[in-house]
Amino acid sequence: MGKADLHIHTNASDGACTPQEILDKAVEKGLKTISITDHDSIKGYKKARELNGGRIELLPGVEMSVQWKDKEVHLLGYCFDPDDEEVNLMMLRQSRARRKRMAKIVDHLQHKGIDIDLDEVKAEAGFSNIGRPHAASVLLNKGVVGSVNEAFIRYLSSEKLGSIGTEYCTLGEAIRCMKKAGGVLSLAHPGPLYSQNEIDELMEQGIDGIECIHPSHPYPVQKNFSKIAKKNNFLVTGGSDYHGSRRSDYDPYFGIVTLGEKHVEALKRLSQQRSKIN
């Protein structure tokens, strides 16, 4: 049976590896299917599509930050048409929202007396879609914190930045746009992020699946989410959340935290049905 990793980041967002390096690593690990799910960007996927040459099954993917109530929710989109005009316009909107938010975050940190500048964060991001991990890397490089994890705990978590709003699209907008383009939606790494009531509510919003398999989910958590997915006739998705850098604690799980082929086939079937309707 082929193994799949449907949660991988490249240097198009906050990963360290190029799309070519990801393809090479995936083949080396014996993976059958992968999805590059950069944050609010499909540039990494598109580059990998050019380079793949049929070596591995490559599903379109993205990890979107969306607004729901007063929370930021991460939504994984799969098998959508990556050339769809609305999808690409939404990615542009998300990228602009990220830049605006980062300016607010830097201003917030400066008012706390932290030595950080927006140009430094932009330089760290390079051509990538800018995000909090880039700010965390700047703080680490300057010795403000001892680790990226410390940067998030002390300065960059959603709780610490609660007063800083975003202009991300809403959960409903993302679901509508992705489904119209044949996409399938899964709630990313829900384990540490939501109460059971919130998960129940989120499942009613039109998503199709739950990322049950993730490095942050110990086996009992994984089993519980798989049970919830089965009970509600939801898809099961999963992957390593690989970043290939010190920005992530999940990197050792590439090629290890994987998804079974039957789940990939179910995801593709739903996308095909959706594409026919649209």
pLDDT tens for each residue of 213-245: 999 999 999 999 999 999 999 999 999 999 986
Question: What is the band of 278 on the pLDDT scale with cuts at 50, 70, 90?
Answer: low
Which pLDDT score, from 0 to 100, does residue 246 have? 55
Beta carbons within 8 Å of 35's beta carbon, 6+ residues apart: 4, 5, 6, 7, 8, 45, 58, 59, 60, 61, 78, 239
Beta carbons within 8 Å of 131's beta carbon, 6+ residues apart: 13, 14, 39, 98, 102, 125
Question: What is the band of 1 on the pLDDT scale with cuts at 50, 70, 90?
Answer: low
What is the rounded average pLDDT of the residues 104-129? 90
Closest CA relative to residue 249, chosen from 133, 156, 75, 76: 133
Q: Which own/partner pairs from 269-273 qualify as long-range (CB within 8 Å, at least 24 positions apart)?
A: 270/184, 270/208, 270/235, 271/78, 271/79, 271/80, 271/182, 271/183, 271/184, 272/182
Q: 106-131 in b/e burial notation, b at 16+ Cβ within 10 A?
A: bebbeeeebebebebbbebbeebbbb
What residues does CATH 1.10.150.650 cover in the chain?
92-156
pLDDT digits (tens, 9 = 90+) for 162-203: 778 788 999 999 999 999 999 999 999 998 788 889 999 999
What's the rounded Cα separation, in Å, for the pair 87 and 91? Answer: 6
Question: What is the band of 26 on the pLDDT scale with cuts at 50, 70, 90?
Answer: very high
Which pLDDT score, from 0 to 100, does residue 2 have? 81
- Who wins on pLDDT, 191 or 80? 80
Q: Which residue type is seen at 265?
A: E
What residues does CATH 3.20.20.140 cover in the chain?
3-83+169-277
Helix %, strand %, coil % for the chain, to 5?
A: 45, 15, 40
> What fold does the segment set 92-156 form as a domain?
DNA polymerase; domain 1 (1.10.150)
Beta bridge mates, 8: 36, 242
pLDDT at 250 over 70: no
For the chain, what's the residue count? Answer: 278
E strands present in the chain: 3-8, 33-36, 57-59, 61-68, 71-78, 184-187, 209-213, 235-238, 259-260
What's the rounded Cα separation, in Å, for the pair 247 and 125? Answer: 12
Question: What is the band of 50 on the pLDDT scale with cuts at 50, 70, 90?
Answer: very high
What's the rounded Cα separation, in Å, for the pair 207 and 108? Answer: 34
Question: What is the band of 52 on the pLDDT scale with cuts at 50, 70, 90?
Answer: very high
pLDDT at 211 over 80: yes
Which pLDDT score, from 0 to 100, does residue 164 have? 80
Question: What is the band of 67 on the pLDDT scale with cuts at 50, 70, 90?
Answer: very high
- Cα–Cα distances (Å) from 269 to 77, 182, 274, in that order, read 15, 11, 9
Burial class of residue 271 (count of CB atoms within 10 Å of its CB; 0-12, 13-18, 19+): buried
Which pLDDT score, from 0 to 100, does residue 70 have? 82
Q: What is the mean pLDDT of the chain?
A: 92
> What CATH number should be reported for the domain whose range is 3-83+169-277?
3.20.20.140
Question: What is the band of 125 on the pLDDT scale with cuts at 50, 70, 90?
Answer: confident
Comparing 93-97, 211-215, 246-250, the range with the smallest average pLDDT is: 246-250
